[in-house]
């Protein structure tokens, strides 16, 4: 059995202070290395790096997926179902605005998953999903 390697993702943010507050306080990431124009975060064991791009305000293009307007550009994580529910409750109690409210997509079909979408302060879309049956992750 192989071990899943951590991924690395760099993305733009308009303000590093806002990004730090969001990724550290709201999502519970920890901070790694940083400089004046970038900061590393531990995102569930993966390395994401917020790079300062003054004036950046995200992307709003969306495609329809199972009745939802899913942001075309987004990133996220597949969590365990219990962890997903815990995060959904934390985000709701923190008054985070959802792009797509927590719900089950593809219900009763291959790939059934719990999903929710939010934006960071710079407008980057993040998806958090979970599968009751992880064998459904790549199911057609």
pLDDT tens-digit readout, 104-124? 999 988 889 999 999 999 999
List C-alpha distances in Å: 75 to 31, 78, 107, 119, 131: 18, 10, 22, 10, 17
Domains annotated on the chain, with CATH: 8-52 (3.30.720), 63-136 (3.10.180.10)
What confidence score (pLDDT) does residue 59 get?
Answer: 77
User: DSSP class of residue 135?
Assistant: G
Is there a contact between 33 and 41 (Cβ–Cβ < 8 Å)? no
Q: What angle do CA 51, 97, 83 make, to 5 degrees?
A: 80
Query: What is the arithmetic mean of pLDDT over 19-48?
Result: 97
> Quick one: tokens of 72?
């075309």
List C-alpha distances in Å: 71 to 18, 50, 86, 105: 21, 19, 23, 15
Could you identify the residue written with the tokens 């992880």?
134
What confidence score (pLDDT) does residue 1 get?
Answer: 53
pLDDT tens-digit readout, 119-128? 999 999 999 9
pTM of structure: 0.92
Q: Is 114 helix (H, G, I), strand (E, B) or coil?
A: strand
């Amino acid at each position: 059995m192989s071990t899943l390697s951590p991924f690395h993702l760099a993305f733009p943010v308009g303000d590093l202070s806002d990004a730090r507050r969001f990724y550290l306080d709201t999502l519970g990431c920890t901070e790694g290395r940083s400089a004046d124009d970038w900061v590393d975060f531990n995102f569930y064991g993966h390395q994401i790096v917020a790079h300062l791009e003054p004036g950046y305000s995200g992307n709003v293009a969306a495609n329809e997926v199972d009745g939802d307007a899913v942001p075309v550009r987004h990133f996220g994580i597949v969590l365990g179902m219990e962890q997903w529910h815990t995060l959904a409750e934390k985000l709701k109690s923190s008054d985070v605005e959802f792009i797509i409210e927590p719900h089950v997509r593809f219900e009763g079909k291959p790939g059934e998953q719990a999903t929710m979408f939010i934006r960071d302060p710079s407008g980057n879309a993040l998806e958090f999903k979970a599968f009751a049956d992880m064998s459904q992750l790549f199911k057609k």
